[in-house]
Amino acid sequence: MSSKHMLIGLYSGLHVTSKIKFSYIFTLIYTIIKFSPY
């Protein structure tokens, strides 16, 4: 009935979560590079 809608919702939720995770990892790497003595 609504399995396609559930699949789309799950995919978009995973996409948002991975985007947040990517931005968090990018911020972490940027902070490490900024505070490293190089």
- Please write the tens of the pLDDT for every residue from 1-38: 578 888 888 888 888 888 999 999 999 999 999 888 76
Please report the pLDDT score of residue 25 as a whole number: 94
Please report the pLDDT score of residue 1 as a whole number: 53
> Locate tokens 């609504």: which residue?
2
Please report the pLDDT score of residue 38 as a whole number: 64
36: left (phi over 0), alpha (psi -120 to 50) or beta: beta
* Tally of domains within the chain: 1
* Secondary structure of the chain in HEC code, one letter for each residue: CCHHHHHHHHHHHHHHHHHHHHHHHHHHHHHHHHHCCC
State which residues form the domain around 11: 1-38
Please report the pLDDT score of residue 3 as a whole number: 85
> Locate tokens 């902070």: which residue?
31
Please report the pLDDT score of residue 27 as a whole number: 95
